[in-house]
Structure 1
Amino acid sequence: MSLSTSVERVELPFEFPFTIARGTTTSAENVLVRIEDDEGRVGIGGAAPSPHYGETVDTVEAVLPDLLEIVEDVGDPHQLARIERRLQETVRRNPAARAAVSVALHDLVGKRLDLPLYRYWGLDPTESVRTSYTIGIDDTETMREKVETATSRGYEVLKVKLGTDRDEEIVRTIREAAPDATVRVDANEAWTPKEAVRTIERIAKYDVEFVEQPVPAEDPEGLRYVFEHSPLPVAADESIETAVDVTRVADRCDIAVLKLMKCGGLREARRIIETAHAHGLEVMCGCMYESNASIAAAAQLAPLLDYADLDSPLLLADDPFEGVPMPDGLLDLGAADRPGTGARRE
């Protein structure tokens, strides 16, 4: 067996400018990976690098030739453990670049076996979850309008970005605009521990489901303080990159948040899920600014999750890829039921 590979950079404009506590963006660049076997089957993956984790599209493109050389050298996409080990030996960081290769390999394996990944893993598609729809930081009235747009499209779970001097006002406005929605909030490390507890105490009365990453990842004791004093469940996102990190914060959060782009691929994602559940934590799979080239793979994990935040394709003005359908936010694995990840270029 032989494998050939290729790389392509794509720009993905957002439907609306997207703001979190760390800044605003109007589009994202992803790097696509294609791995083709000698029978013409093609596996697709995508890298959505984040400067927060030391990656850019330039660094991804710089390391991918070395990573894909390993894939071609091994020559067998089913050797997932062997390839993963060699990728990690070649680049210790660069998780988005490794994730793109991992997704493309899994997609190809599924296509070679004529199985969607969830069936390859033995998962039940009826045990799925709904993705949240993210409301970025904006002036309060614009955020209200975004909520009304989201709920009119059928999205029942909203994730609201916080980290401003008007966080309670924002949450109150969102609740007024969507009285029946499930509301989660994400501070993206913006608060100090005491500020986090004060803010959480003020917003808890608006029926908030949980609070994501209230303090900087570099402050694990601050996370513990918030966890011990918060009236709401606490989710750890930036504090967790790999399964090892789960063990470090398992006693100071309720929910572990994984992302393919920070953990380096689907095998590590499953290790995170298993480790978190073993420690009694719930699990959410989140995303960066990604297309369905990678989101479709993350969606295949849905039966193993307690929560999902895989709405990036929903926030794009146009996604060049189809993926797992998300009617009203439900990750409907059975509706696509295509081999591999389900990603397909439109």
Structure 2
Amino acid sequence: MTEVLKNIQFTCFPYHLHFRFDAGTSRGVLKDKMIYLIKASIEGNPDISGWGEAAPLPNLSIDDIPDIASQISVYCRNFSGLSLPSNESAMLQWVSENIPDQLPSVKFAFETALLDLLNGGNKKIFDTAFFSGLKSIPINGLIWMGGKEFMLEQIDQKLEEGYECLKLKIGAIDFYQECELLSYIRQKYDASQITLRVDANGAFTPEESLNKLKVLSRFDLHSIEQPIKQGQLNEMAVLCRQTPFPIALDEELIGIHGIESKKKLLEFIRPQFIILKPTLIGGIVSSREWINLAETMGIGWWITSALESNIGLNAIAQFTSTYSVTMPQGLGTGQLYKNNFESPLTITNGHLEYKVEKSAWKTEL
């Protein structure tokens, strides 16, 4: 007989995050961000609650829509009172069937809220060595767009903090100033000492992209994320064949649903890497599909957070830790906000750790 969690109650809590600085991207500057926390609990036992985070990215997520809060509230109200099988695969399957693909961040929020509840409401999404504090995850240090001096300041700080992989967002200032920043790093550290990634967020035009990649290749880069805007499939496929160093698809994965559509995209473009942002691509089940396909085709991958609070970052980190990763992942956004939630997530020498001795979470709303 299958055990069930009976009479689950769902509640949505909007929460306004405030950046510590103006976070520059090629799509504009972010000063604050609205997220929606979903709480799952058993009626009559309010002390045990699971939490998930829906955090659509402005001007990028397909569920960055005006009525997202009301839609989440409707789902919470309609689902409250349900009883669900108390095992991971059945819960994830239920979310897949009951939250539409057009709401990827909401899928992820319900997945993680339910798994947290299933595991006792201690922010344990998956029982891994990472959650137990026995293993850390290598991550890249993120350098935000801005003026040259601001970016230099970040670079020096990240190097001082012990990161061995840096990711620079490019496309906001003059391209050759950005090359000077890369040259600054390479004059100090070669590729065997510091791995360099760049993220163009689609800032290059197809006409200029190959020439710019040739210039960037002088700096022994690991990869470039999304050099041209998503949706230009022919141009991206050609670029991936001609590029002098690896290309990673990022935004290109957004809005692609179902195994066959995912497979068709990867077979057509044949990128060297893909980047998985669970919030943007539909959560755990969808991310697993992408990973399985990529590994079958010999395409590399890594997982990245997407400006979530520590609630979402924790879930993404634990999901990442279900794989044996050695390549630096993109999981360092927890320090961005003035009013983030206290958590045991700590960064030490470019590695994300879960400090068990500090495992008391504070989810104050």
Q: TM-score of the superposition, structure 1-length normalised?
A: 0.87
Among 117, 125, 142, the residue aligned to 2:150: 142
Residue matched to 1:324:
345
- Distance in 2 of aligned mates of 1:141 and 1:182: 21
Equivalent-residue separation in structure 2 for 1:237 and 1:74 (angstroms): 36
Matched, 1:301 2:319: yes
Give the letter for the 1:238 counterpart: E
Q: 194-203 or 50-59, which moves further after superposition?
A: 50-59
Query: 2:105 touches 2:278 (CA, 8 Å); kept in 1?
Result: yes
Does the 8 Å contact 2:112/2:125 carry over to 1?
Answer: no
Deviations, residues 77-113 of structure 1 (Å, cap 9, x unaligned): 644144213323xx3412112221112112112226x
**How many pairs are equivalent?**
340
Query: 1:33 is matched with which residue?
Result: 38
Unaligned runs of 5+ residues in structure 1 are none
Distance change in 2, residues 1:117/1:35 (3 Å): closer
* CA separation of 1:345 and 1:157: change in aligned 2, threshold 3 A: farther
Q: Quick check: 1:212–1:237 contact (8 Å CA) kept in 2?
A: yes
Matched, 1:182 2:195: yes
1:287-338: per-residue Cα shift (whole Å, max 9, x none)?
Answer: 22211111111101334244411222122234224153332231335x4499
1:48 corresponds to 2:55? yes
Tell me if 1:201 matches 2:214. Answer: yes
Residue aligning to 1:59: 67
Q: What are the Cα deviations for residues 244-301 of structure 1, in whole angstroms up to 9, with x where unaligned?
A: 4542124421111111111222222222222221221111112222111111111013
Rounded Cα–Cα distance in structure 2 between residues aligned with 1:226 and 1:124: 42
* In 1, Cα distance between equivalents of 2:128 and 2:138: 22
Match of 2:13 in 1: 8
Does the 8 A contact of 1:70 with 1:83 survive in 2? no
Q: 1:282 to 1:70 in 2, by over 3 A?
A: farther
Amino acid at match of 1:100: A
Q: Which amino acid counterpart does residue 237 of structure 2 have in structure 1?
A: R
Partner of 1:258: 276
User: Does the aligned pair in 2 maintain the 1:118–1:301 contact within 8 Å?
Assistant: yes
| CA RMSD of superposed structures (Å) | 2.9
Q: Distance in 2 between matches of 1:123 and 1:5?
A: 25
For 2:238, the equivalent position in structure 1 comes to 225
Measure, in 2, the Cα distance between the counterparts of 1:147 and 1:286: 20
The verdict on how the C-alpha distance between 1:240 and 1:152 changes in structure 2, with shifts beyond 3 A counting, is same
Percent identity between matched residues is 20
Aligned to 1:95: 104
Deviation at 1:53, TM superposition (A): 2.6
Equivalent of 2:285 in 267, 271, 274: 267
Tell me what 2:3 maps to: none
Q: Which moved more, 1:139-148 or 1:248-257?
A: 248-257
SS at match of 2:60: helix
Partner residue in 2 for 1:86: 97
Give the Cα separation in 2 of the matches to 1:84 and 1:130: 30
1:117-157 CA-to-partner distances (Å, cap 9, x unmatched) read 44369999877542222212211121101211222333332
Q: Distance in 2 between matches of 1:343 and 1:185?
A: 33
Query: CA 1:92 to 1:177, structure 2 compared with 1: closer, same or farther past 3 Å?
Result: closer
What is the deviation of 1:185? 0.4
d(CA) in 1 for partners of 2:132 and 2:301? Answer: 17
Is 1:213 equivalent to 2:202 in the alignment?
A: no
Mapped contact 2:130–2:353 kept (Cα < 8 A)? no
Q: Quote the Cα distance in structure 2 between the aligned partners of 1:154 and 1:318.
A: 25
Q: Deviations over 1:198-249 (max 9, x none)?
A: 1111111112110001111110111111111111111001111356454212
